[in-house]
A and B are shown apart, each in its own frame.
Chain A
Amino acid sequence: MVTLCEITAGAAEASIWGVVGHVLLLFLFSFIAAMVVMTFAGLSVVAERKVCAFIQGRLGPNRTAIPIVAAIPLLGNFLKRNGLMQLLADALKFLFKEDPIPGHVNKFWYMAAPAMFLAPVLIVGAVIPFGVYWSDGSMHPIAVADFDLSIIFMLAISSLTVFGGLMAGWSSNSKLPYIAATRSGAQIISYELTMGITIVTLVIWAATMVENPLNIFEVAAAQSGLWFCITQPLGAFLFLVALFAETNRLPFDVSESEADLVSGVHTEYGSFKFGLFYVGEYGHMALASMLFVTLFLGAWYPFPGCEWPSDWGWISSVLSVFTFLVKVAFMIFFFIWMRWTLPRFRYDQVMRLGWSVLVPLGIANFVFYLVLISL
């Protein structure tokens, strides 16, 4: 496995232009990865509105039309009926609204919070292998960064979002965002524990198959046989529940509960900054789906025990990316579907569920696999 440093080191030996070119290439890759995550975030906003409407027996947004685009024969109507131009209208609204800063906030942290909320999502997007390609007879991930310890990196960075929420809640200097921030902080910390335990279980299991089980790509690649959601059903389930809680999605969105807290940590935000929070939330959802697909749902493998043949070359690569994205889309749908099915847990129920059910279950699961492996 070639790591980032090795490539840069190798390029540095070649020439200074080699390094520059390499860095530019990395920028391009990162841009593409960020675009993928953002696109999914945007599409899931539309999907949320559409799926919710369909579940409730409505049609959802289907009227917004951009004049020239809407006139294109089939495509225009398709975009219009599926509410895809609504997305653009929403984005424009966020961009062009007046952006007032309330007088009572702590300006610095208030301004920093939305970026802090969104950035970790985009950073973690870098380690997600969107697909694979083959060169020199071995498999490589289509990812911005592929290095050992990427699972640790992913865990470390993704939990930074809690600071975005806390900063927003505290600097807003208003009680509702503050309560929301403490709630979401406590919730994320509690469920991070479950998430950590399930990942440790996964890693020790993967360690029996690959040489470097902390590399997210190798863990994903280890699912060429049975996917980990089949070999570790309880672990997959706990991880999924923890993801729901981490992303503050229903049934765990106690920090947003509009009935008692107006709308969560971003209550005092408007226009573009609110837009960042909004995109950040959906970005989290997209990222959580990607993580679940990568770690438990067989990443780019189409079916358990079956993979795209490596001698098809780039066709297989395209198919692998496609498979991955389809699975991610399904997971996003699942998140939305869940949201419009379940009511919200009470805050104390969320905490009790986290600490006295999920954590013990996670530990039991861990011990079980530990025993299983050592046998």
Chain B
Amino acid sequence: MAIIVERRRLTWMERTYLPQIVSGLWITLKNLFKPKVTLEYPEQAPILPPGYRGAPTLVMDSAGREKCVSCQLCEFVCPPKAIKIVPGEISGNSEYAYIEKAPKEFEINMLRCIFCGYCEEACPEKAIVLQQEFSLNGRTRAEMIRNKKQLYEAGGVLPDKIKKWKKVKDTADLEGGSH
């Protein structure tokens, strides 16, 4: 059923605009004294929401082991091709030799990175994490390419809930180490 909306004619006062103008002035006057939303950036730090995607970093587990296994999934998924990985092997006499692979070099070009977080999503080891650093600057292009060492410095330690590699090692020990 069609509904006929009744269109009220403006009252005489409304057609003079004046009450509306006065109430508008009152609103803007109140706004004049309200607290301001401006964030004075360099002095005041912005409040970053949880899940904020800042600079991508590499993290270590609580034992200080590098988690990245240089599977290169992040390199392949990265839309602007910001990541460059040189895969390497973990040497045989290392405690973690059974993990086999670790990156020899890992570079993220912060000039290319678009902070999409795909690398973090793709990583099977939760080794690459976008953290809260958002102010990235340098005087040369070369400065903006972070190498493995810098990435680990920025990343720090991220304890895991699931100790994936530890478990494998323990089972391997139990079964007599045929792994």
Residues of A within 8 A of B (CB): 51, 54-59, 337-338, 340-342
Contacts and interface: CB of A to CB of B under 8 A. Distances in A.
20 contacts: A51-B32, A54-B36, A55-B28, A55-B31, A55-B32, A57-B34, A57-B36, A58-B38, A59-B36, A59-B38, A59-B40, A337-B25, A337-B29, A338-B25, A340-B28, A341-B21, A341-B25, A341-B27, A342-B21, A342-B24
Contacts of B27: 341
Contacts of A340: 28
Contacts of B29: 337
B3 interface: no
Contacts of A55: 28, 31-32
Interface in B8-34: 21, 24-25, 27-29, 31-32, 34
A280 B119 CA distance: 57
Contacts of B32: 51, 54-55
Nearest to A60: B38
Given A54-B31, A55-B31, A56-B31, A341 B36 contact: no
A59 B38 CA distance: 6
How big is chain B's contact interface, by range? 10 to 19
Contacts of A338: 25
Contacts, number: 31
Nearest to A62: B40
Interface in B28-74: 28-29, 31-32, 34, 36-38, 40
Contacts of A341: 21, 24-25, 27-28
B37 A57 contact: yes
Interface in B104-143: none
A280 B170 CA distance: 83
A128 B75 CA distance: 74
Contacts of A57: 31, 34, 36-38
Contacts of B40: 59
Contacts of A337: 25, 28-29
A340 B40 CA distance: 23
A54 B31 CA distance: 7
A56 B34 CA distance: 10
A337 B28 CA distance: 8
Contacts of B21: 341-342
Contacts of A59: 36, 38, 40
A58 B25 CA distance: 18
A58 B37 contact: yes
A57 B38 CA distance: 7
B51 to A, nearest CB: 26
Nearest to B29: A337
Contacts of B28: 55, 337, 340-341
